[in-house]
Structure 1
Amino acid sequence: MSPPILYISRLLPDPVMAAARQQFQLFNEPRDIAPSWETFKAGLREADAAICTLTDRVDTALLAEPTRLKILANYAVGYNNIDLAAATAKGIVITNTPDVLTDSTADLTWALILAVARRVAEGDAYVRAGAWPGWAPTQMLGTDVSGKVLGIVGMGRIGQAVARRAAGFNMRICYSSRTPHTPGQGSSQWDQRALPDLLREADFVTLHVPLTPETHHLIGARQLALMKPTAFLINTSRGPVVDEGALVDALLRRRLAGAGLDVFEQEPVFHPSLRDLRQVVLLPHLGSATLATRVRMGMICLENIAAVCSGRPAPNQVSRTQA
């Protein structure tokens, strides 16, 4: 019996590609750039299973095409790029990669917190430009992190992982979430707050919510106006959670001290004014970008595909109630 046909929309790390070639018949060899619309459509039409990424939009029109596809494994935790209702109606199983990128994304969140507070990117550019005249008492003074209030919007796996790391900085945690959460052993106190109260109270606000119609522009002009002028906004969730124009306006008017952004509204495009704001650290969507994490994400996709193609339930199937 021939192995199932697998379409992979983007080149994945070598160990994942090796396992995919061993287990399946590849529709084609993926490239390290986004596929053309025609290639993507053909892959979903002709393959038994597919791995797509967060940049691949799988909408109602695309899913209306005839297909033999049994499973679409999303190479991400979030799945806002997929019309879940349309896929379910078509009988296509949708899976994601939960848990595996929690620590890498939490680590990167802390990299951004420290970078914006201590002006790391500015300092690096200053030294590289050959402009540094030597140490001075008032040179590039930043903001303390230790002892401050960390506001976490969205207290799922990643939000909790960020909170646990704050214990080492003796920070008080306030969080906004639908459900209450108890800190683990050794963690500082976690206080649940309504979002407006959290924004008024926190010195650092970090976002960890999925992108849904309810969270689109969750942080806009009205919410930013509630924040302290000395506060920093960190986003490693999804770009459209923040109204980018409103954020730029707040930064330009110095109603906010700075921001650390790993995601943007229209990736890879971002608001042009962000480039010139020295109090902002910009990263190219690196949240899960460690080799071990990206390999594990791919292996989870393959495990889900192998299960469905052999008639078993997918370990990480996304249900319509989660959307």
Structure 2
Amino acid sequence: MSGKPVLWLPRRVSDSTIARAHRNYDVIVTETDMPGTADEIVAMSAKADAMMPCHSEHFSADVVARLDPRLKIIANHSVGMDHCDIPALKARNIVVTNTPDVLSDATAELAMLLMLGAARRVVDGERLVRTGSWDSWSPAFMVGKQVSGSRLGIVGMGRVGRAFAAKARGFDMEIHYYNRSRLPEGLEKGAVFHETIESLLPVSDFLSLHCPATPDTVDLMNSRRFGLLPDGAVFVNSARGALVDETALLEAIGSGKLAGAGLDCFKTEPGGNPAFAEFNNIFMLPHIGSATAKTRDAMGFRALDNLDAFFAGETPRDAF
């Protein structure tokens, strides 16, 4: 034994992260790169002092109750924490950290892609060209919804929401937002604050979600709230699938209330919702908001920064 703390990596993280981890830790890598099951997590807690899980590993109260006392810290390779029962982990004196800041731009970029793709009928257009079916043109051909100069509603003005707003300003969008509290003027940058979601929705030609999934935000977008959007609005979700009542979303798309939707997350992951595939005006991606090489390295390094601080006897920067 080297005397180094033992770190378990249940998923395949970036090569740079693994190389750095080997400098300070005895690393156990799960080569199959499949989500760690409850039994695997419990078994590894007797072998590892630390874990670097992703959002795919679930630390429910039942799992936490079975963890071996050897495990001291869970340094998540994610920003979202809804896969961790934080009170249960704190009760076991297990430190929990995440990786904020470093994925904001990548996720905001993807939200912009989803918004543009849904607005400009990317699914229809790509399919026409790819299948060789593009054989005509007219002024009425493939007419979509213009983003530039439109009103954008943002739910959640944290790091990602603000990064998305910054990019949307490049399209001269009029930005409105709902947040638990109003931003300081320096961060608001001319965006219009709404005290309620109900006030925000009627002025949102485009609506983008950037809030966490909590018990209070499950099905935040339901039939009533979709109904408050302007006719022909475009809906974007690059945050969490739990935020959306998918049946209500399908109804809004099917009725024509929404002109389109751009989705990177779903209630069921992996897999998504097969019913969405029936609609060409739903542009979908497989939860890849942070999937750039630069961001994956940054996430891994941020998690390792938290681990290094903990094992140096310091409070990790991103401890909950």
Please say whether Structure 1 and Structure 2 have the same fold, judged by a TM-score greater than 0.5.
yes
Aligned-partner Cα distance in 1 for 2:91–2:64 = 10
Tell me the TM-score normalized by structure 1: 0.94
Partner of 2:220: 218
Check conservation: 2:10, 2:52, Cα contact below 8 A.
yes
Partner of 2:193: 192
> Could you tell me whether the CA contact under 8 Å between 1:103 and 1:158 is conserved in 2?
yes
Task: Tell me the residue number matched to 2:172.
Answer: 170
- Distance between the aligned counterparts of 1:242 and 1:203, measured in 2? 18
Matching residue of 1:16: 17
Q: 2:134 is matched by which residue type in structure 1?
A: W
Q: Is the 2:10–2:33 contact (alpha carbons within 8 Å) kept by the matching residues of 1?
A: no
Aligned residue pairs, count: 317
User: Could you say what secondary structure the match of 1:199 adopts?
Assistant: helix
- 1:50 aligns with 51
Q: Percent identity?
A: 38
1:310 matched to which residue of 2? 312
The separation in 1 between residues aligned to 2:280 and 2:123, in whole angstroms, is 8
1:132-160 CA deviation, whole Å, 9 max, x = no partner?
01443221111111111000001111111
Report the AA paired with residue 94 of structure 1.
Answer: V
Give the AA of the match of 1:26: V
* Residue ranges of structure 2 left out of the alignment (5+ in a row): none
Q: Find runs of 4+ consecutive structure 1 residues off by over 6 angstroms.
A: none
Runs of 5+ unmatched residues, structure 1: 319-323
Say if 1:7 and 1:27, in contact at 8 Å, map to a contact too: yes
Moved more, 284-293 or 192-201: 192-201
Q: Distance in 2 between matches of 1:54 and 1:45?
A: 21
For residues 242-283 of structure 1, give each alpha carbon's deviation from its aligned partner in whole angstroms, at most 9, with x where no partner exists.
111111111112121111000001112333220111110010
Question: C-alpha distance in 1, partners of 2:298/2:220?
Answer: 31
The one of 79, 82, 87 equivalent to 1:80 is 82
Residues 87-126 of structure 1: pairs in structure 2 closer than 5 A: 87-126=89-128
Q: Secondary structure at the match of 2:170?
A: helix
Shift of the 312–115 alpha-carbon distance from structure 1 to 2, 3 Å rule, reads same
Task: Measure the CA separation in 2 of the matches of 1:188 and 1:74.
Answer: 32
**2:234 equivalent in structure 1:** 232
Give the Cα–Cα distance (whole angstroms) in 2 for the partners of residues 252 and 296 of structure 1.
Answer: 40
Q: Distance in 1 between matches of 2:316 and 2:108?
A: 26
| 2:73 counterpart of 1:63 | no
Deviations 1:214-248 (A, max 9, x none): 11111111111111221011001110001111111
Partner of 2:274: 272
Deviations 1:259-308 (A, max 9, x none): 10000011123332201111100100011110000111011111111221
Contact 1:245-1:271 at 8 Å conserved across structures: no
Distance in 2 of aligned mates of 1:59 and 1:93: 15
CA contact (8 A) 1:46 1:67 kept: no
2:178 maps to amino acid: S
The CA distance in 2 between the partners of 1:250 and 1:272, in whole Å, is 16
Residue 261 of structure 1 is matched in structure 2 by 263
Q: TM-score, normalised by structure 2?
A: 0.95
Amino acid at match of 1:250: A
